Amino acid sequence: MSTYLKELIEKLPENERLLINILNCVQEERGFIPQPLLTELAERTGVPESQLHSLVSFFNSFRTKSAGKHRICVCYGTACYARGAPLIYDRLADELELDDGDDTSPDGLVTVEKVYCVGACNQAPLIVEDGQIKGKIKSYQVPFLIKELRKKDQDGRNE
Amino acid sequence: MKDCVEIIADGQLIAVDRNITLLQALRDNGVNIPSLCFYPSLGGYGSCGLCVVEVYSSGNWLLRHSCLLYPEEGMQVRTATLLVQKQRAQAARLLLRRGPFHKKEVEEMLIALVQEGADVGDLLQKCDSAGAAGEGRAVPLIAGCILCGLCVRICRKVGKGLLTFLGRGENLRIGMVLGQKDDPCGNCRACRRICPTGFITPNARCTFTASLY
């Protein structure tokens, strides 16, 4: 872990070595921010660990639990909400058998998140699947989407 | 050496130190101003909103937190006008929603402030104040804590900096980050002593169970 953090910091240009950038990199690479890393970051930077926890908890985009293989963001912006984002989310939660308060399917395949406006309101309601926007989603399409993801996952494993 | 300036508080000319907050200066001169989140050595924070006063500035009387202001030469302040009372009543109403509080005197003080504001206010406000303490909104995440931040600040100053705010908005709560070390929190109990509502019992570790991991 300790070389990991060092390398990560050194990869950043010198004037961008801010806590938030470092945390962003970790989030992007690992999908979440592990606790030992915060402890180490606190030691390295001299910022109290409690303040790092505060920082991480402030932003919704930082996760503290490990994420699934794929990531589906359901847009909950005003336009998407009005056009039925909750229906899509509920259907996703149903299909993936998410427990209350849990956002990753038990098999670790998909993590479902709510996000607030991705800026493509003309395609409302939309989801972002692994960084790719899919617009005008109907809730009945959700099972097919998940089936496709499962298939992709299976194919990837067989190769 | 004292750095003195003269200000006018409620029509009276008083000389105060310019390096202390307006709230402290007014209190030193016998003006009674309520507040919950102020502690002299920690400075102002402005989270309880009870210490508002009216300050004269370019033709208008403005409502300001006196804990965040410093006296200036010729500053004019009003501490007990209708507007101030109404504002304090509103702040007290919001704080009461976070109750019930362990310290009864805090609750009584807030209710008194609400009533003071309601007496001069209209009938509508009376109805509102009656409803605020009871039903209406969901019970807060942690009843009894007003999230004033005093414990967080004192822990950073004299303790080991283990307390912190977690989350934001409705989910704002206070958490204790213990890290990997054994028994990092000692027993200074500064947070327990400073808590205005008596929420921290018997110690911070038992009280603040929220954590990220």
| Domain-ending residue, one of A58, A80, A96 | A58
Q: Which two tokens stand for residue B161?
A: 């900096």
Please give the Cα distance from A19 to A55 (Å, whole number).
9
In tens digits, chain A (159 residues) has pLDDT values of: 678 888 888 888 888 889 999 999 999 888 899 998 999 999 888 898 999 999 999 998 898 888 888 889 999 999 999 999 999 999 999 988 888 778 888 888 899 999 989 999 999 899 999 889 999 999 999 999 999 999 988 888 887
A50 touches chain B (CB under 8 A): yes
- For residues B132-152, give the mean pLDDT: 72
The boundaries of the domain holding residue A23 are: 2-58
Same structural domain for residues A91 and A123? yes
Q: Which two tokens stand for residue A75?
A: 């847009």
Q: How far is CA A158 from the centre of its chain?
A: 26
Q: Which residues of A touch B180 (CB under 8 A)?
A: 36, 39
Return left, alpha or beta for B39; rule: phi > 0 is left, psi -120 to 50 is alpha, else beta: beta
pLDDT above 70: percentage of residues in chain B = 87
Same structural domain for residues A7 and A84? no
| Domain-ending residue, one of A58, A79, A95 | A58
Same structural domain for residues A89 and A11? no
Q: Which residues of A touch B211 (CB under 8 A)?
A: 53
Mapped onto helix, strand or coil, the DSSP state of residue A75 is strand
Mapped onto helix, strand or coil, the DSSP state of residue B124 is helix
Same structural domain for residues A48 and A87? no
Residue B201 confidence (pLDDT): 85
A60 touches chain B (CB under 8 A): no
Find the CB nearest B164 among A35, A54, A64. A54
Q: Is A98 part of any domain?
A: yes
Q: Count the Cβ atoms, other than its own, within 10 Å of residue B199.
A: 23
The beta strand positions in B44-180, using DSSP E, are 52-57, 60-65, 76-78, 163-166, 173-176
Q: Is A65 part of any domain?
A: no
Same structural domain for residues A110 and A35? no
> A64, B177: Cβ pair inside 8 Å?
no
Lowest-confidence pick of A96-110, B15-29, B31-45, B150-164:
A96-110
Same structural domain for residues A77 and A6? no
Mapped onto helix, strand or coil, the DSSP state of residue B165 is strand
B119 touches chain A (CB under 8 A): no
Please give the Cα distance from B49 to B169 (Å, whole number).
17
> B162, A64: Cβ pair inside 8 Å?
no
Q: Which residues of A touch B161 (CB under 8 A)?
A: 48, 50-51
Q: What is the pLDDT of residues B65-99, one digit of tens each?
A: 999 999 999 999 999 999 999 999 999 999 998 87
What ipTM goes with this model?
0.80
Please give the Cα distance from B68 to B51 (Å, whole number).
9
Q: Which residues of B touch A57 (CB under 8 A)?
A: 165-168, 175, 212
Same structural domain for residues A53 and A79? no
Q: Which two tokens stand for residue A79?
A: 């336009």
Q: How confident is the model at residue B183 (pLDDT cuts 50, 70, 90)?
A: low
DSSP character at residue A82: H
> B164, A64: Cβ pair inside 8 Å?
no
Domain B4-80 fold: Ubiquitin-like (UB roll) (3.10.20)
Q: Is A64 part of any domain?
A: no
> A53, B163: Cβ pair inside 8 Å?
no
Query: One-letter amino acid identity for B158?
Result: V
Same structural domain for residues A140 and A119? yes
Which chain A residue lies closest to B170 (C-alpha atoms)? A58
Cβ-contact B146, B48 below 8 angstroms: yes
Same structural domain for residues A148 and A109? yes
> A64, B213: Cβ pair inside 8 Å?
yes
Same structural domain for residues A54 and A112? no
Mapped onto helix, strand or coil, the DSSP state of residue B43 is strand
Number of domains making up chain A: 2
Same structural domain for residues A100 and A46? no
For an interface test with B, give the residue of A57, A61, A64, A116 to mutate (most B CBs within 10 A): A57
Cβ-contact B157, B42 below 8 angstroms: yes
Please give the Cα distance from B188 to B177 (Å, whole number).
16
Distance linking the first and last C-alpha atoms of chain B:
50
Same structural domain for residues A88 and A50? no
Q: Which residues of A touch B176 (CB under 8 A)?
A: 50
Q: Which residues of A touch B167 (CB under 8 A)?
A: 57-58
Look at B1 and B60; give whichever has higher pLDDT.
B60
For residue B136, pLDDT over 80 is answered with: no
Which residue ranges make up each domain of chain B? 4-80, 83-133, 150-207
> How many separate helices (H) and strands (E) can be counted in chain B?
7, 7
Q: Measured between alpha carbons, how far is residue B144 from residues A69, B106, B158 in Å?
A: 41, 11, 24
Please give the Cα distance from B204 to A65 (Å, whole number).
25
DSSP character at residue B158: T
